[in-house]
Structure 1
């Protein structure tokens, strides 16, 4: 089965992916590879408040998962990128605990970076699709 591009339902976000030349996610067999999601508003601009930016990144991720017929329960691997991990850690853990409240937790790699195009947090995941044939 060839890879299949997945986009969230929001047409504004779809336009952003087209503008930058990448897919929100790629389905390959029963796996979903989700591109990094940031806390952007519908127009692509960063949410300035870190906690709201963090929540928006998780909301954007949820929309991509939903478009593929998946949810946070299907996530098996997470990579997150942080511009200031030391000061952001508590807020990230709080957000993580809301979407992954109990074991088994996905594997998670957190990476400190110096630049995220005006954002302070980015999250990408791999999920196993529940109804993949």
Structure 2
């Protein structure tokens, strides 16, 4: 059995992931495990405004999903991390549901309040079921 990981890199961000020494996503057993995505600009710095940061985190997430041939519709489990959730949860939750989650049925979701995210206010990690390849 090979121990090589089947890593997925979104276009244009491989150097950023290599610099921080982690994989954006790994395929395994028909699933895609996506590392936490933040609202980082191309240079890795945080988008300062909260709503723009959340939107950018989802854009970064969607780029990883697309690189694996998936979309948010394939996501089955979501974990979000929020710094200071007492003041930010409602704004983030309403933004996420309205703009990115689409129609029911929704994925499972867990929200966790944290004290630090390396300068970010929001992070999202997901597990998605990879679409099955069409029969040849």
Q: What is the TM-score when the length of structure 1 is the normalising length?
A: 0.93
Instruction: Give the structure 1 partner of residue 94 of structure 2.
Output: 94
Structure 2 gaps, min length 5: none
Superposition deviation, residue 131 in structure 1:
2.2
Aligned-residue RMSD, C-alpha: 1.5
Deviations along 1:61-89, one digit per CA (max 9) or x if unpaired, are: 00000000000000000000000112212
Structure 1 gaps, min length 5: none
Instruction: Give the structure 2 partner of residue 43 of structure 1.
Output: 43
Q: Please list, as runs of the form range in 1=range in 2, the aligned pairs for 1:14-25 lying within 5 A after superposition.
A: 14-25=14-25
Asked whether the equivalents of residues 26 and 33 of structure 1 are also in contact (C-alpha less than 8 Å), the reply is yes
Deviations along 1:71-109, one digit per CA (max 9) or x if unpaired, are: 000000000000011221222123321211221110001
User: CA distance change for structure 1 residues 132 and 28 in 2, over 3 Å: closer, same or farther?
Assistant: farther
Tell me the SS of whatever aligns to 2:42.
Answer: coil
Q: For 1:100 and 1:82, how far apart are their aligned partners in 2?
A: 18
Q: For 1:3 and 1:44, how far apart are their aligned partners in 2?
A: 24
Superposition deviation, residue 9 in structure 1:
0.9
Large movers: runs of 4+ above 6 Å:
none
Instruction: Give the structure 2 partner of residue 58 of structure 1.
Output: 58
Q: For 1:101 and 1:93, how far apart are their aligned partners in 2?
A: 13
Pair 1:7 & 2:9 matched: yes
Superposition deviation, residue 127 in structure 1:
0.1
Instruction: Give the structure 1 partner of residue 84 of structure 2.
Output: 84
Instruction: Give the structure 2 partner of residue 71 of structure 1.
Output: 71
- Greater Cα shift, 111-120 or 97-106: 97-106
Instruction: Give the structure 2 partner of residue 29 of structure 1.
Output: 29
Aligned length: 131
